Amino acid sequence: MKRNRIAELDFLRSLATLLLLVHHSGIYQYQIGSFPLRNLSKYNNHLLLGAFVFISGYLTARTLSRREIFHLSAFYRSRLLRLYPPYLVALLSFVFLLGIRISSQEMLIHLMGLQVLLSPKYSDPIRTLWFISLLLIFFTFAPTLILSLKRIARLFAAYLTIFMITILIHNSIELLDIRFFYFFPTFAIGSLIGVAQALPVMKTSNSLLGGSLVGFSVGIFMLSQNNLTYIPDLDLLHILWSNLFILSSIVIIFRSSHRLTHFRFVQNLILYIATSSYFTYLYHRPLWRILYDISGIGVERIEVLINLVSIPIVIAFAFILQNLYKKIVERI
Protein backbone atom coordinates (compact mmCIF):
# COMPACT_ATOMS: atom_id res chain seq x y z
CA MET A 1 0.00 0.00 0.00
CA LYS A 2 1.37 3.41 -0.88
CA ARG A 3 1.29 5.71 2.09
CA ASN A 4 -0.44 9.03 1.79
CA ARG A 5 1.87 12.02 1.85
CA ILE A 6 1.86 14.09 5.02
CA ALA A 7 2.59 17.66 3.99
CA GLU A 8 4.13 18.67 7.31
CA LEU A 9 6.51 15.71 7.29
CA ASP A 10 7.55 16.46 3.72
CA PHE A 11 8.20 20.08 4.70
CA LEU A 12 10.23 18.97 7.74
CA ARG A 13 12.22 16.48 5.67
CA SER A 14 12.95 18.99 2.90
CA LEU A 15 13.99 21.64 5.42
CA ALA A 16 16.31 19.14 7.14
CA THR A 17 17.82 18.25 3.74
CA LEU A 18 18.58 21.89 2.94
CA LEU A 19 20.02 22.44 6.43
CA LEU A 20 22.21 19.39 5.92
CA LEU A 21 23.70 20.75 2.71
CA VAL A 22 24.35 24.16 4.25
CA HIS A 23 25.71 22.51 7.41
CA HIS A 24 28.29 20.51 5.43
CA SER A 25 29.11 23.24 2.91
CA GLY A 26 31.89 24.78 4.99
CA ILE A 27 30.02 28.03 5.49
CA TYR A 28 30.82 28.09 9.21
CA GLN A 29 34.25 29.55 8.48
CA TYR A 30 32.52 32.88 7.77
CA GLN A 31 30.84 35.38 10.04
CA ILE A 32 28.16 38.03 9.66
CA GLY A 33 29.50 41.21 11.14
CA SER A 34 30.96 40.17 14.47
CA PHE A 35 28.80 37.02 14.71
CA PRO A 36 30.63 33.77 13.78
CA LEU A 37 28.34 31.44 11.82
CA ARG A 38 30.05 28.54 13.59
CA ASN A 39 27.89 29.38 16.61
CA LEU A 40 24.90 28.02 14.64
CA SER A 41 26.56 24.69 13.89
CA LYS A 42 25.34 22.69 16.88
CA TYR A 43 21.76 23.95 16.52
CA ASN A 44 21.62 23.05 12.83
CA ASN A 45 23.18 19.67 13.61
CA HIS A 46 20.64 18.79 16.30
CA LEU A 47 17.66 20.06 14.31
CA LEU A 48 18.40 18.43 10.96
CA LEU A 49 19.39 15.03 12.39
CA GLY A 50 16.62 15.18 14.97
CA ALA A 51 14.10 15.87 12.20
CA PHE A 52 15.24 12.82 10.22
CA VAL A 53 15.15 10.66 13.36
CA PHE A 54 11.69 11.88 14.39
CA ILE A 55 10.30 11.17 10.92
CA SER A 56 11.83 7.67 10.95
CA GLY A 57 10.30 6.91 14.33
CA TYR A 58 6.89 8.25 13.38
CA LEU A 59 6.66 6.50 10.00
CA THR A 60 7.90 3.21 11.47
CA ALA A 61 5.10 3.29 14.03
CA ARG A 62 2.43 4.37 11.56
CA THR A 63 3.42 1.75 9.00
CA LEU A 64 3.20 -1.01 11.59
CA SER A 65 0.14 0.37 13.36
CA ARG A 66 -1.84 0.65 10.11
CA ARG A 67 -0.78 -2.91 9.23
CA GLU A 68 0.52 -1.79 5.86
CA ILE A 69 3.06 -4.56 6.44
CA PHE A 70 1.55 -7.60 8.10
CA HIS A 71 4.71 -9.53 8.90
CA LEU A 72 7.74 -8.21 10.72
CA SER A 73 10.01 -9.96 8.25
CA ALA A 74 8.38 -8.00 5.42
CA PHE A 75 9.00 -4.76 7.29
CA TYR A 76 12.69 -5.56 7.76
CA ARG A 77 13.04 -6.62 4.15
CA SER A 78 11.46 -3.36 2.99
CA ARG A 79 13.62 -1.19 5.25
CA LEU A 80 16.85 -3.03 4.45
CA LEU A 81 16.23 -2.82 0.71
CA ARG A 82 15.57 0.89 1.00
CA LEU A 83 18.49 1.71 3.29
CA TYR A 84 21.29 -0.81 2.95
CA PRO A 85 22.34 -1.13 -0.74
CA PRO A 86 22.51 2.67 -1.23
CA TYR A 87 24.48 2.88 2.01
CA LEU A 88 27.01 0.34 0.73
CA VAL A 89 27.51 2.35 -2.46
CA ALA A 90 27.96 5.50 -0.38
CA LEU A 91 30.49 3.74 1.86
CA LEU A 92 32.57 2.71 -1.16
CA SER A 93 32.36 6.23 -2.59
CA PHE A 94 33.61 7.66 0.70
CA VAL A 95 36.57 5.28 0.65
CA PHE A 96 37.55 5.71 -3.00
CA LEU A 97 36.43 9.28 -3.79
CA LEU A 98 36.93 10.99 -0.44
CA GLY A 99 39.98 9.00 0.59
CA ILE A 100 38.60 7.80 3.93
CA ARG A 101 41.19 5.44 5.41
CA ILE A 102 40.00 2.62 7.65
CA SER A 103 41.46 -0.72 8.68
CA SER A 104 40.19 -4.06 7.40
CA GLN A 105 38.46 -4.67 10.72
CA GLU A 106 36.76 -1.29 10.63
CA MET A 107 35.76 -1.84 7.00
CA LEU A 108 33.99 -5.04 8.03
CA ILE A 109 32.26 -3.18 10.86
CA HIS A 110 31.11 -0.44 8.47
CA LEU A 111 29.93 -2.98 5.89
CA MET A 112 27.74 -4.54 8.57
CA GLY A 113 26.46 -1.13 9.69
CA LEU A 114 27.72 -1.67 13.23
CA GLN A 115 29.93 1.37 13.65
CA VAL A 116 27.63 3.19 16.08
CA LEU A 117 27.03 0.02 18.11
CA LEU A 118 30.75 -0.81 18.40
CA SER A 119 31.96 2.75 18.96
CA PRO A 120 34.12 3.93 20.62
CA LYS A 121 35.88 0.70 21.61
CA TYR A 122 36.15 -0.99 18.21
CA SER A 123 35.12 1.60 15.65
CA ASP A 124 35.50 5.24 14.71
CA PRO A 125 32.29 6.18 12.85
CA ILE A 126 32.73 7.83 9.45
CA ARG A 127 31.31 11.34 9.16
CA THR A 128 27.78 11.48 7.73
CA LEU A 129 27.48 7.69 7.22
CA TRP A 130 27.37 6.97 10.95
CA PHE A 131 23.75 8.15 10.90
CA ILE A 132 22.63 5.16 8.81
CA SER A 133 24.14 2.82 11.37
CA LEU A 134 22.16 4.67 14.03
CA LEU A 135 18.90 4.08 12.14
CA LEU A 136 19.76 0.40 11.66
CA ILE A 137 20.14 0.05 15.43
CA PHE A 138 16.77 1.69 16.04
CA PHE A 139 15.15 -0.63 13.51
CA THR A 140 16.50 -3.74 15.24
CA PHE A 141 14.29 -3.40 18.31
CA ALA A 142 11.64 -0.68 17.77
CA PRO A 143 9.39 -2.56 15.29
CA THR A 144 9.18 -5.59 17.60
CA LEU A 145 8.27 -3.40 20.56
CA ILE A 146 5.68 -1.46 18.57
CA LEU A 147 3.93 -4.62 17.40
CA SER A 148 4.10 -6.49 20.71
CA LEU A 149 3.33 -3.66 23.14
CA LYS A 150 -0.10 -2.34 22.27
CA ARG A 151 -0.32 0.38 24.92
CA ILE A 152 1.53 3.68 24.85
CA ALA A 153 2.50 3.42 28.54
CA ARG A 154 4.09 0.01 28.01
CA LEU A 155 5.98 1.15 24.94
CA PHE A 156 7.22 4.23 26.79
CA ALA A 157 8.38 2.06 29.69
CA ALA A 158 10.18 -0.27 27.27
CA TYR A 159 11.98 2.64 25.61
CA LEU A 160 12.97 4.04 28.99
CA THR A 161 14.30 0.65 30.08
CA ILE A 162 16.34 0.30 26.87
CA PHE A 163 17.74 3.80 27.36
CA MET A 164 18.91 2.98 30.89
CA ILE A 165 20.36 -0.39 29.87
CA THR A 166 22.29 1.17 26.99
CA ILE A 167 23.73 3.76 29.38
CA LEU A 168 25.05 0.92 31.55
CA ILE A 169 26.49 -0.80 28.47
CA HIS A 170 28.17 2.40 27.31
CA ASN A 171 29.69 3.14 30.71
CA SER A 172 30.81 -0.40 31.47
CA ILE A 173 32.16 -1.81 28.18
CA GLU A 174 32.52 1.32 26.00
CA LEU A 175 30.00 0.40 23.34
CA LEU A 176 27.39 2.62 21.65
CA ASP A 177 28.51 5.92 20.24
CA ILE A 178 27.53 8.95 22.31
CA ARG A 179 25.26 10.19 19.51
CA PHE A 180 22.96 7.21 20.07
CA PHE A 181 21.86 8.74 23.37
CA TYR A 182 21.27 12.17 21.87
CA PHE A 183 18.84 10.92 19.21
CA PHE A 184 17.19 7.84 20.70
CA PRO A 185 14.69 9.91 22.77
CA THR A 186 13.59 11.79 19.65
CA PHE A 187 13.13 8.52 17.73
CA ALA A 188 11.17 7.05 20.65
CA ILE A 189 8.88 10.06 20.94
CA GLY A 190 8.33 10.08 17.18
CA SER A 191 7.22 6.45 17.30
CA LEU A 192 5.02 7.06 20.36
CA ILE A 193 3.26 9.88 18.50
CA GLY A 194 2.82 7.51 15.56
CA VAL A 195 1.28 4.78 17.69
CA ALA A 196 -0.99 7.27 19.44
CA GLN A 197 -1.95 8.88 16.11
CA ALA A 198 -1.22 12.20 17.80
CA LEU A 199 0.20 14.08 14.83
CA PRO A 200 -2.97 16.23 14.47
CA VAL A 201 -2.39 17.50 18.01
CA MET A 202 1.00 18.85 16.94
CA LYS A 203 -0.73 20.76 14.16
CA THR A 204 -3.64 22.19 16.14
CA SER A 205 -2.87 22.47 19.87
CA ASN A 206 -2.21 26.07 20.92
CA SER A 207 -1.11 24.88 24.35
CA LEU A 208 1.51 22.63 22.78
CA LEU A 209 2.67 25.49 20.57
CA GLY A 210 3.01 27.79 23.57
CA GLY A 211 4.96 25.16 25.48
CA SER A 212 7.16 24.57 22.45
CA LEU A 213 8.00 28.26 22.17
CA VAL A 214 9.12 28.19 25.79
CA GLY A 215 10.97 24.89 25.27
CA PHE A 216 12.68 26.25 22.17
CA SER A 217 13.95 29.29 24.09
CA VAL A 218 15.09 27.21 27.06
CA GLY A 219 16.76 24.67 24.78
CA ILE A 220 18.72 27.34 22.91
CA PHE A 221 19.80 29.02 26.14
CA MET A 222 20.95 25.80 27.82
CA LEU A 223 22.78 24.53 24.74
CA SER A 224 24.54 27.88 24.47
CA GLN A 225 26.28 27.32 27.80
CA ASN A 226 29.10 25.43 26.08
CA ASN A 227 30.53 25.15 22.58
CA LEU A 228 30.20 21.37 22.25
CA THR A 229 27.62 19.69 20.03
CA TYR A 230 27.98 16.42 21.96
CA ILE A 231 29.47 16.09 25.43
CA PRO A 232 31.60 12.91 25.41
CA ASP A 233 31.09 11.92 29.05
CA LEU A 234 27.36 11.27 28.59
CA ASP A 235 25.87 14.39 30.13
CA LEU A 236 22.18 13.51 30.54
CA LEU A 237 21.17 17.13 31.11
CA HIS A 238 22.80 18.17 27.84
CA ILE A 239 20.91 15.34 26.12
CA LEU A 240 17.69 16.61 27.70
CA TRP A 241 18.25 20.18 26.45
CA SER A 242 19.15 18.86 23.00
CA ASN A 243 15.92 16.87 22.72
CA LEU A 244 13.88 19.75 24.14
CA PHE A 245 15.30 21.98 21.40
CA ILE A 246 14.69 19.36 18.68
CA LEU A 247 11.12 18.49 19.62
CA SER A 248 10.00 22.05 20.29
CA SER A 249 11.52 23.10 16.95
CA ILE A 250 9.60 20.35 15.16
CA VAL A 251 6.30 21.49 16.67
CA ILE A 252 6.97 25.10 15.69
CA ILE A 253 7.91 24.03 12.14
CA PHE A 254 4.72 21.95 11.89
CA ARG A 255 2.56 24.88 12.92
CA SER A 256 4.25 27.34 10.56
CA SER A 257 4.67 25.07 7.53
CA HIS A 258 1.17 25.63 6.12
CA ARG A 259 1.87 29.37 5.85
CA LEU A 260 4.71 28.63 3.45
CA THR A 261 2.97 26.12 1.20
CA HIS A 262 0.06 28.01 -0.32
CA PHE A 263 1.50 27.95 -3.82
CA ARG A 264 1.54 24.83 -6.00
CA PHE A 265 5.14 25.53 -7.02
CA VAL A 266 6.28 25.54 -3.39
CA GLN A 267 4.37 22.31 -2.70
CA ASN A 268 6.00 20.60 -5.69
CA LEU A 269 9.44 21.86 -4.68
CA ILE A 270 9.02 20.56 -1.13
CA LEU A 271 7.93 17.17 -2.43
CA TYR A 272 10.86 17.14 -4.86
CA ILE A 273 13.42 17.82 -2.15
CA ALA A 274 11.75 15.45 0.33
CA THR A 275 11.76 12.63 -2.24
CA SER A 276 15.49 13.09 -2.87
CA SER A 277 16.41 13.41 0.83
CA TYR A 278 17.94 9.98 1.47
CA PHE A 279 20.16 9.94 -1.60
CA THR A 280 21.04 13.59 -1.04
CA TYR A 281 22.16 12.67 2.45
CA LEU A 282 24.29 9.76 1.26
CA TYR A 283 25.90 11.21 -1.83
CA HIS A 284 26.28 14.97 -1.44
CA ARG A 285 29.89 14.75 -0.25
CA PRO A 286 31.05 12.45 -3.12
CA LEU A 287 29.17 14.62 -5.62
CA TRP A 288 30.86 17.72 -4.28
CA ARG A 289 34.24 15.97 -4.59
CA ILE A 290 33.53 15.20 -8.25
CA LEU A 291 32.62 18.84 -8.84
CA TYR A 292 35.87 19.95 -7.17
CA ASP A 293 37.88 17.64 -9.40
CA ILE A 294 36.09 18.86 -12.53
CA SER A 295 36.61 22.50 -11.62
CA GLY A 296 40.24 22.01 -10.59
CA ILE A 297 39.79 24.51 -7.76
CA GLY A 298 41.65 23.80 -4.54
CA VAL A 299 40.96 27.03 -2.66
CA GLU A 300 38.83 26.27 0.40
CA ARG A 301 36.73 29.43 0.23
CA ILE A 302 35.92 28.76 -3.44
CA GLU A 303 34.95 25.20 -2.56
CA VAL A 304 32.38 26.58 -0.13
CA LEU A 305 30.90 28.64 -2.94
CA ILE A 306 30.81 25.57 -5.20
CA ASN A 307 29.00 23.63 -2.47
CA LEU A 308 26.33 26.27 -2.06
CA VAL A 309 25.82 27.01 -5.75
CA SER A 310 25.66 23.32 -6.63
CA ILE A 311 22.91 22.47 -4.12
CA PRO A 312 20.22 22.32 -6.86
CA ILE A 313 22.48 20.04 -8.93
CA VAL A 314 23.07 17.69 -5.99
CA ILE A 315 19.36 17.49 -5.18
CA ALA A 316 18.42 16.92 -8.84
CA PHE A 317 20.98 14.15 -9.23
CA ALA A 318 19.86 12.54 -5.97
CA PHE A 319 16.22 12.78 -7.08
CA ILE A 320 17.02 10.91 -10.32
CA LEU A 321 19.01 8.24 -8.47
CA GLN A 322 16.30 7.86 -5.84
CA ASN A 323 13.60 7.27 -8.44
CA LEU A 324 15.74 4.84 -10.40
CA TYR A 325 16.50 2.85 -7.28
CA LYS A 326 12.82 2.87 -6.28
CA LYS A 327 11.92 1.29 -9.60
CA ILE A 328 14.59 -1.38 -9.10
CA VAL A 329 13.32 -2.20 -5.61
CA GLU A 330 9.72 -2.44 -6.84
CA ARG A 331 10.76 -5.17 -9.25
CA ILE A 332 12.44 -7.28 -6.59
Q: Is residue 142 part of a domain?
A: yes
Q: Write out the chain's pLDDT in tens, 332 residues.
A: 345 688 899 999 999 999 999 999 999 999 998 899 999 999 999 999 999 999 999 999 998 877 655 578 888 888 899 999 999 999 999 999 998 989 999 999 999 999 999 999 998 899 999 999 999 999 999 999 998 887 899 999 999 999 999 999 999 999 999 999 999 999 999 999 999 999 999 988 999 999 999 999 999 999 999 999 999 999 999 999 999 999 999 999 999 887 777 788 889 999 999 999 999 999 999 999 998 888 776 656 688 888 999 999 999 999 999 999 999 998 87
According to DSSP, the residues that pair with 36 across neighbouring strands are 31
Q: Is residue 63 part of a domain?
A: yes
CA angle 55, 60, 61 (to 5 degrees): 105
Residue 5: predicted pLDDT:
82
Give the DSSP letter of residue 286: H
What is the total count of domains within the chain?
Answer: 1
Q: Is residue 1 part of a domain?
A: no
Q: Is residue 230 part of a domain?
A: yes
Residue 1: predicted pLDDT:
37
Print the domain residue range for 146. Answer: 7-331
Residue 330: predicted pLDDT:
87
Q: Is residue 236 part of a domain?
A: yes
Q: Is residue 2 part of a domain?
A: no
Q: Is residue 252 part of a domain?
A: yes
Residue 297: predicted pLDDT:
67
b/e map of 207-240 (b: 16 or more CB within 10 Å)?
Answer: ebbeebeebbeebeebbeeeeebbeeeebeebbe
Residue 46: predicted pLDDT:
98
Residue 68: predicted pLDDT:
55
Residue 50 and residue 56: Cα distance in Å, rounded? 10
Residue 300: predicted pLDDT:
61
Q: Is residue 15 part of a domain?
A: yes
